[in-house]
Amino acid sequence: MPPSATNLTNDEQMLLVNESLNTIRQQTIQMKKLLDVKGKSMESLKPASTLLSELRTSNLSPKNYYELYVSIYDSLEYLGNYLKDNYPSKNLSNLYELVQYAGNIIPRLYLMITVGTVFMSVPDAPVKEIMKDMIEMCRGVQHPIRGLFLRYYLSQRTKNLLPIFNDPANGTLQDSVNFIITNFIEMNKLWVRLQHQGHSKERKKRISERQELQILVGSNLVRLSQLEGVDKHYYKETILPAILEQIIQCRDMIAQEYLFDVIIQVFPDEFHLYTLRELLDSTISLIPQVSLKKILITLLERLTTYIDRESLDGIQALTINGKTDDEEGVEGDETAEKTHNKKILEKAEEKEATVTEGTATEESKTQTKDENIDVEALFNIFYSHFIKLNKVRPDLTIDDITALYYSLSKLSLSYYPDNFENVDLIYSETLNRYNELKDTVESSNALTEENLKNILLLPLNFSSLVSNDVSKKEKLNLKLLLNLKNYQSLLSAQSSKVQVSISNEILKTLLSNKFKLENEEQIEKVFQVLDSIISNKETITVAQDLKVEEINKRSENAGGEVNEYPYETSVKQENLAKLFHLIYNSNPIAHSKLLSTAQAFVSQKKNKLTKFLYPSLIFDYLKLIKRLHFRIGKVSQKSMNFSPELKSELIASYELELKSVFQKVSKLADELYNQGELELSLKLLISISETSNAIGNNGFTNEFFIKIYSIYEEMISSKQQYQIIMQLISTLITFYKSFQNGTNSDKENYDLLITKAVLYSARLLKKPDQCRAVFSASHLWFQSTVLASTDPSAPSTDASAEENDNKRILECLQKSLRIADSCIESSVTVELFVEILNECIYYYIHSNFIDANYINNLIELIKTNLSEVDDLPIKHFKRTCEYIARQKEIDERFQLVRY
């Protein structure tokens, strides 16, 4: 029969379990009955022993065995309580002997422990000897599972009975500690032994069995941590060395990993801080299969959260912010001390001297805090340990190393939020290690990548680590970023994929926090960090990915326009473009400089991204122009506090800046133009001209428009041309006012511009486009009339000029009619006619240079052609007629119109 459970299936085991449970139940009833009969209470030991024999089975898995254990525990507890209440305590020692006659060791020891613990609980019992005896006799059970449960029973039963006072007669704390540690050592041995018994093919099963049993072993450590009266010195001197020795000696992976974890979890943080060196040193002696990463990270995380938990408890010894609020009395002192501590943290060099002082005051107040020396050195301890690890454990893989460094940096940031040197150190070390291990398999696996990403994203996540204070969030993360000298080098060591994802992450955060970039340093850092997306590393990789996709999609896309950038990429570019909007400085001139700095970063790259970035940059410049303009206005208006010289100086500098910004903007547009982005460049120029118009600089406007025309002439696609012409016309219309208010040369320029526009309209390729452009252009001459009617203060144009304009309008209309007529398809012709009719009606309503006859003729013309056309123009015509009918009701002039 194999020593560990069993080849039985779980169902078979369940049958056994149920049988055993039945027996246990019956024997328990029997036992209780006998206990109630006077004078026969001793006979109750017999059923007790019988029910305990059920625990002798070898056929159950740990889980099923546990079921029996639980049931039996209850029975024995009943027995124990009965004995405690009813049995004369002076006879307990006899009873303790009596139960040892049981022939089988399992029932014997369970009974012994039951009676022994009852005995321990009575006054004046030889507690120490009983403890010693029980723990010694338990050695008789060498079967792993049975032994573990037996010793667990011992541990459970003695839980509240172990002496914690130093009473040499009845046992001391030392005895209790030895007791638990001995039990722990023996249990661990049994537990480890389980691994080495039975067939090697059942290894997996045994591992899972062991995991089911681990909590039994760990419970001893929990018990140790619950012992009252253990202070950290005692822990360091006595408890920890004993535990560690056993853990190291057992040379078993599961045990070492699990037990370290338990140590870290169950003992108080103060203990860990106090024994950190010992704990770390011992990890070196663990067997190589143990994941140091797991252990160390658990420890790091425990200590990291410690600082948070501490601050929740209100014992803030090391606070994140050294604010000296005006608190009173004791609290005031405390804050002062906080500041003091913080200073210590910052002054890394002069530590030694000040620390002792700081600790002294601390100690006097909260005794739990006297481990400050360790807190100070915490980072260094870990760091030097990691360095040591590199030497003694060359087998550590880069994914483990990076994970460790990530945790360490979190710890550092929690404890020393203002100490960036630590983190920087980690960055440089990480980089070193990464370079050393670059060629290993692990260096490119997902884990490593993930860890490195985490490390690099620290500046983003760290604020949430340290404090929940939202207001502080923004400042911290950039400050950290700015202070990490090695950030950039570590970042650029990564694969472009990683770089891009980090950059994107940072970018997203910056945007979502509406973080303001206020000085050049910040801009430089940010743009450096985002270098990977700016220099378009992603599109390279994306393009590679795309190739594959394209092959798949070729059939679908064959005819369609192939988009250069996939949708997702352009979203990312959009984010990047948004970045410019974050740049802000209250001083417009400084702001302009910042924008130039940013621009420099983008321009260097000279890649296609500019197409996405420049527009946004240009609009930022334009916004800046408006601000400058506004400033100028403000300064010149209410400038009582400025001396006139200063005032003019200011204005001059603003004007100068304004000019240079315009130059920059136009240069940007030129660059786009040079890159072949004609349409984009043209449209941007339109926006620029609008801005220059808005601030009343006709000269600039004119020039920009000339540029626009010159670009326009190079454009080939008629579709684009038509739309641009329309846009130009509408833009020009809005410029009318400022040009008319300007100098004579401005007016002339304007005339030139609009004439040119009409000329372009007439030169469009397609007839309908021509026609529509021309009649739209007619409005260019209609401005004076409109202004006169809407704005009485508008400059009165002389009648001749107006007549001249009206003539021009009529010419345009005539021309468009001709063009429409020359169209071959009658439907198109009629549609265009109807559209012209609408224009005429508009003019008819707003002025009187068109008479009703003109309209009637046009209507007649349409009607004659109506028979040969399809629905669309007919409907349009009908609607127009309906409109005329309605107009008749409100405008008697329309009575003259017939249809």
Partner 1 sequence: MSLFFKAPLDIEVRLSGEDTRKHVEVKNKNGRKEKLPLYEDGESVKGQVTIRVKDGRRVEHLGIKIQLIGTIDTNNDGLNFDNFLYLVQELSAPAELNHPENYSFEFKNVEKQFESYRGTNVRLRYYLKCIVLRKSADVIREKELWVYAKQNPPDTPTTVKMDVGIEDCLHIEFEYSKSRYSLKDVIVGRIYFLLVRLKIKHMELSLIRRETVGSGANQISDSQTLVRFEIMDGAPVRGETIPIRLFLRGYDLTPTFRDVNKKFSTRTFLSLVLIDEDARRYFKQSEIILYRD
- The site for partner 1 (CB under 8 A) is made up of 1, 3, 56, 97-98, 100-101, 103-106, 108, 136-137, 139-144, 146-147, 189, 193, 197
What's the residue count for the chain? 899
Angle at 231 between CA 228 and CA 232, to 5 degrees: 140
Q: How far is the CB of 316 from partner 1 (least distance, A)?
A: 51
Nearer to partner 1, 97 or 574 (CB): 97
Q: How far is the CB of 141 from partner 1 (least distance, A)?
A: 5
Nearer to partner 1, 103 or 168 (CB): 103
Q: How far is the CB of 57 from partner 1 (least distance, A)?
A: 11
Nearer to partner 1, 98 or 788 (CB): 98
Contact of 729 with 773, CB cutoff 8 Å:
yes
Point out which residues pair with 167 in neighbouring strands.
171
Nearer to partner 1, 63 or 132 (CB): 132
Query: CA-to-CA distance for 475 and 330, rounded, in angstroms?
Result: 31
Q: How far is the CB of 276 from partner 1 (least distance, A)?
A: 33
Give the up-direction half-sphere exposure of residue 737: CA atoms within 13 A in the CB hemisphere.
14
- Map tokens 């049993």 to a residue: 213
Q: What is the DSSP letter of 190?
A: H
Nearer to partner 1, 10 or 142 (CB): 142
Nearer to partner 1, 196 or 309 (CB): 196
Q: How far is the CB of 190 from partner 1 (least distance, A)?
A: 9
Look at phi and psi of residue 704 and say left if phi exceeds 0, alpha if psi is from -120 to 50, else beta.
Answer: alpha
Nearer to partner 1, 72 or 396 (CB): 72
Q: How far is the CB of 411 from partner 1 (least distance, A)?
A: 41
Nearer to partner 1, 141 or 243 (CB): 141
Point out which residues pair with 517 in neighbouring strands.
583
Look at phi and psi of residue 732 and say left if phi exceeds 0, alpha if psi is from -120 to 50, else beta.
Answer: alpha
Chain mean position to CA 335? 33
Write the DSSP assignment of 739-794 as a string of letters.
HHHS-HHHHHHHHHHHHHHHHHHHT-SSHHHHHHHHHHHGGGGTHHHHHHHH-TTS
For 440, other C-beta atoms within 10 Å of its C-beta total 13
Query: CA-to-CA distance for 198 and 201, rounded, in angstroms?
Result: 9
Provide the 3-class DSSP secondary structure of residue 566. coil
Nearest to 140 by CA among 151, 127, 156: 151
Nearest to 459 by CA among 424, 497, 499: 424
Query: CA-to-CA distance for 482 and 460, rounded, in angstroms?
Result: 12
Q: Which residues contact 86 (CB under 8 A, 6 or more apart)?
A: 35, 41
Query: CA-to-CA distance for 571 and 577, rounded, in angstroms?
Result: 10
Query: Helix H segments across 416-445?
Result: 420-436
Q: How far is the CB of 146 from partner 1 (least distance, A)?
A: 6
The two tokens of residue 663 are 């130059």
Nearer to partner 1, 197 or 604 (CB): 197
Nearer to partner 1, 132 or 747 (CB): 132
Chain mean position to CA 154? 49
Nearer to partner 1, 64 or 761 (CB): 64
Q: How far is the CB of 193 from partner 1 (least distance, A)?
A: 6
Contact of 498 with 454, CB cutoff 8 Å:
no
Q: How far is the CB of 142 from partner 1 (least distance, A)?
A: 4
Q: How far is the CB of 178 from partner 1 (least distance, A)?
A: 17
Q: How far is the CB of 150 from partner 1 (least distance, A)?
A: 9
